[in-house]
Structure 1
Amino acid sequence: MKKLSWLEAIGNAKGGVKHCTVLPTEEDVAVNLARWVADLSAKTISEKGYFSVVLSGGTLINTLRKLTESPYKESVNWWRWLVFWADERVVPLDYPFSNYLLAWNDFLSKVPIPKTSTYHINYNASAEHVAKNYETLLRELVEDKFLPLSPTGFPQFDLMLLGIGPDGTVGSLFPNRPQRYDVTDWSQVLPTRQRNRPRESP
């Protein structure tokens, strides 16, 4: 029997309903994820006119590759997407460790999402200022009714795509870090450790 090594987990934040599908290969995950994201995008855009998506780094971006191929590249209404990041390193956007660069190289550059709809960090400041500026951006979008507030008082997105590292890391939060229990701040500055070699720029 072939070992099931990949997991696709889908949660409905509004209703609290969770659905978990175990798939045999990474390719199966990519195919099913593309279909599911495309369907959710179409449904959400038809209801409110736009689709807010949160990305992270790591292998997650490569798993989105099927969305850059037919039929999704032509059928998804990319012009209605708003793209955010769950976590990012305070480095220039073209730096090898940038999550934005990873997303740009493997996903964003291959679909027609307007650059004005990708909300990356402004890295020309201290980490504290960068985090505060991103929080200010989110608060402005909430005030302008582009992002609703969740029942817990945080911005609510239509889709958050987060990978889980082998050490339990989610969005740069390690299981034992106190920040994962913070229920007040919209942004955090975390010390990082480089566990991987830099990704090469194009």
Structure 2
Amino acid sequence: MQQAGLSSVEELSQKAGVSQWQIIRLRRGLARQMRVEILLYISQGLNISLVELLATFAPESVSSPEAGSSVEELQQEYQRLQTQMKQQQDSQLQEFERSSLEVLEAWLLQWPTVVYKVKQNSKLPAIKLLPLLRPIERLMQQWGVEAIASVGSEVPYNPQMHQLLEGTAQTGETVLVRYTGYRYRGQLLHRAKVSSLPQSQQ
């Protein structure tokens, strides 16, 4: 776990996608009673091969003369599971793309026409384009992406959330948001870019 940069069973459990109970079973020497699929997930969580995992937790299964065929079977099972996992990942990615496209459908259908009309009439008011961006905003909401602050707003300066583009500001002083920042599921994705206000406005 240390070599894999993991500090706890809970962390390995999350990375491998298995329950902590399965990891405890492995540590208790019950590797031979566990499903190969679970062992494969744990080995991937530790960034080692399945054979390396077994050599550590069930050495008798890979070191004895009669173990040769079982190791070969394990390797075949390992390859089969690798292929199966790849297919599952591809399927999940396709499902993710399909659901995203469903949200963006209206935008996909209308945007090329909008681009064409703007090229034909450069004086077309830009405000008419804003409703077409709602599907993208809805998709961002579904993904858990939220804006830190809106452009043009005046907010207390927070160096953890804001990047100062120009001027100087102390924590808590009012600054102007020039470019919005984002959080993703509560974690900082991009800091909002801000500038200090003229002295007369502070």
TM-score tier, shorter chain, comes to: under 0.3
Higher relative contact order (CA 8 A, sep 6+): 1
- TM-score w.r.t. length of structure 1: 0.20
Q: Which has the larger radius of gyration?
A: 2
